[in-house]
Structure 1
Amino acid sequence: MKPLRVTPAHGPHGPRLYVNLPTGRTLAWYDRDTGRVSLLAESRREEVLTALAPFVTGPLTVGPPPVPTPADLVRLSLHPDDDLAPNRPGEALHAALGDVPPARRFRQDPRRETLAALQRIGDELDTLTHAGWRVLHSLPLPGHSFPGHSHLDHLLIGPAGILTVHTLPAHRRHFHLDAPATAPHLRRAAHDAERASLALAAAVRPVLAVAGASRIDGDPPSDDVLLLREGTTDTTLAHLGGVLKPADIESLYASARNRHTWLHA
């Protein structure tokens, strides 16, 4: 009998190891994050566990695949072209900068600083998934009701509720939160939250994330917008308390990742 094959994969559910027959048929998969082995063929249990043994650390839970939740069913029925979950931070800028002719790519372009800031904040937000948060980036918005504004930079859905995060590039600059130049960004952050609230039919809190500043002084003129300093995401959100249950988080996430949700935002 030929040995079973173990193949790593990373999808919407996180990192997994799939155990397959040589023919390609899947017998089980192991979720690294939860330590669960979902077994499709009980009669092959020992073979599956033997094949996984070199890759597994810590305790295991073995059983049949969990019953799909309503949010799972929505996700599974979503066409790939309408699924916004794979979007990278600054997805639209990736495409725009990729279209720049080679002769112009080494010239100073402020969009590159913006993209770097979006990536820095986006990477930091992505680390929140271990704490029960769901994160989406670069969500397209219809129309242009705010100058230069066609996307939500980031959307967070988690225990403390729903937050839109507007990223402000401040690379190596001394940044003053109470300066007049900050006001448009605060208005933009508030506007993002309003549009997300309209699309999701739920309360949304605006967040302004300052990326790359050498120093930040002052306080935002308005308490309505939450300030997120780079490197403090965990502690800042931990103080917000709990608002949403896990099932509500998954339901809202399933709606938010659907491109059609944002057509009338």
Structure 2
Amino acid sequence: MTGLRVMPAWRHGQERLYVCLANGRNVAWYDRDASRVNLLSEDRKADVMQVLAPFLTGSVTVGPPPVPTPAELARLTLHPDDDLAPNRPGEALQISLDRDPVPARRLRSDARHRALTAEQAVGDALDRLDGAGWHTLHSIPLPGGSRIHHLLIGPGGLFCVTTLHARKQRVRIADPMVTVGRAEPRPVLRTLRADASRASFALTAEVRPVLAVAGGADLDVAAPPRDVRIVYDTDVAALARAGAVLKSADVEALHALARDRHTWLRV
């Protein structure tokens, strides 16, 4: 018996298999996507490979973890309270609902609940792009009480994504106004452009605005809005098909900068 056990875990949307001692301390982990077994102790190499044998597929690289990049080192220095990467889709709405729950009889009439459902649908779709070299940050707080719903960073550039809940309703877009069903028109596109501009200022990089319409709405667009891309929540993955404009190192550096709460304090 090796005295080791294998524990599966998910990290940034990817599965890792951690090899642990009886006291829970990690001695290695297997990264399926990288086909690499990272050893924290060479002395346990034979035992680690024995316990991982049923899980290994194809050829794998075995050795110590790779030296962290400057972006990874910057992330490691972040205090947990300042790291935005763990934010869930709709984090701010979820916190609001936890602090001020909606009575069951009023659940359907609470706009926060419907907006949360939409942000979760869009956020989950964006998170699935992680394995293709993209990163998504959710519910980024901005000074003044506003927030960026989703920030997508990857080879194709940076996208500021605002989610619009419009379940099975007609959505009329006449730049900059957006009307959902019989509700009053709101300057959604103006706000979206302002958020993208603030993100560009914070990150010193071009950030393009995207409106993601959730809920199978019927879109009525008077004219294609200037510099704003409109997608359905079921098609946000199309953003990842944009031509590559950023190198992998640039993507990681921008992600490390964007996940730091302090980056957004002066925008």
Do Structure 1 and Structure 2 share a fold, with TM-score over 0.5? Answer: yes
Judge conservation of contact 1:162–1:205 (CA < 8 Å) in 2. yes
Judge conservation of contact 1:35–1:61 (CA < 8 Å) in 2. yes
Judging changes above 3 Å, is the alpha-carbon distance between structure 1 residues 220 and 67 closer, same or farther for their aligned structure 2 residues?
A: farther
Deviation at 1:58, TM superposition (A): 3.4
Q: How does 1:1-265 map to 2 (within 5 A)?
A: 2-12=2-12, 14-101=14-101, 104-107=103-106, 108-144=109-145, 150-178=146-174, 180-182=177-179, 184-218=187-221, 221-238=224-241, 240-265=242-267
Judge conservation of contact 1:2–1:22 (CA < 8 Å) in 2. no
Judging changes above 3 Å, is the alpha-carbon distance between structure 1 residues 220 and 44 closer, same or farther for their aligned structure 2 residues?
A: farther
SS in structure 2 of the partner of residue 92 of structure 1: helix
Q: Aligned equivalents of 1:97 and 1:41: distance in 2?
A: 45
Judging changes above 3 Å, is the alpha-carbon distance between structure 1 residues 169 and 220 closer, same or farther for their aligned structure 2 residues?
A: farther
Q: Aligned equivalents of 1:82 and 1:99: distance in 2?
A: 21
| Pairwise CA RMSD | 2.1
Judge conservation of contact 1:164–1:193 (CA < 8 Å) in 2. yes
Q: Aligned equivalents of 1:101 and 1:237: distance in 2?
A: 36
Deviation at 1:217, TM superposition (A): 3.4
- The one-letter amino acid paired with 1:111 is R
Q: Structure 1: which 5+ residue stretches go unaligned? A: 145-149
Q: Aligned equivalents of 2:131 and 2:101: distance in 1?
A: 40
Deviation at 1:96, TM superposition (A): 1.2
SS in structure 2 of the partner of residue 177 of structure 1: strand
Q: Aligned equivalents of 2:28 and 2:47: distance in 1?
A: 10
Q: Aligned equivalents of 2:36 and 2:84: distance in 1?
A: 27
SS in structure 1 of the partner of residue 105 of structure 2: coil
Higher mean C-alpha displacement, 6-15 vs 48-57: 6-15
Q: Aligned equivalents of 1:12 and 1:118: distance in 2?
A: 18
Judge conservation of contact 1:220–1:227 (CA < 8 Å) in 2. no
List per-residue Cα deviations over 1:156-193 (Å, max 9, x = no partner): 11011111001111111122334843561111111110
Q: What count of residue pairs does the alignment treat as equivalent? A: 258
Q: Aligned equivalents of 2:229 and 2:201: distance in 1?
A: 19
Q: Aligned equivalents of 2:222 and 2:125: distance in 1?
A: 22
Q: Aligned equivalents of 2:25 and 2:95: distance in 1?
A: 37
SS in structure 1 of the partner of residue 213 of structure 2: strand
SS in structure 1 of the partner of residue 73 of structure 2: helix
Q: Structure 2: which 5+ residue stretches go unaligned? A: 180-185
SS in structure 2 of the partner of residue 264 of structure 1: coil
Judging changes above 3 Å, is the alpha-carbon distance between structure 1 residues 43 and 113 closer, same or farther for their aligned structure 2 residues?
A: same
Judge conservation of contact 2:154–2:240 (CA < 8 Å) in 1. no
Judge conservation of contact 2:2–2:47 (CA < 8 Å) in 1. no
TM-score normalised to the size of structure 2?
0.89
Judge conservation of contact 1:200–1:255 (CA < 8 Å) in 2. yes
Higher mean C-alpha displacement, 123-132 vs 38-47: 38-47
SS in structure 2 of the partner of residue 22 of structure 1: coil
Deviation at 1:31, TM superposition (A): 1.2
List per-residue Cα deviations over 1:126-156 (Å, max 9, x = no partner): 1111211100000011115xxxxx1110001
Question: In the alignment, what sits opposite 1:147?
Answer: none
- The one-letter amino acid paired with 2:115 is T
| Deviating 4+ runs (over 4 angstroms) | none
Judging changes above 3 Å, is the alpha-carbon distance between structure 1 residues 3 and 264 closer, same or farther for their aligned structure 2 residues?
A: same
Deviation at 1:47, TM superposition (A): 1.6
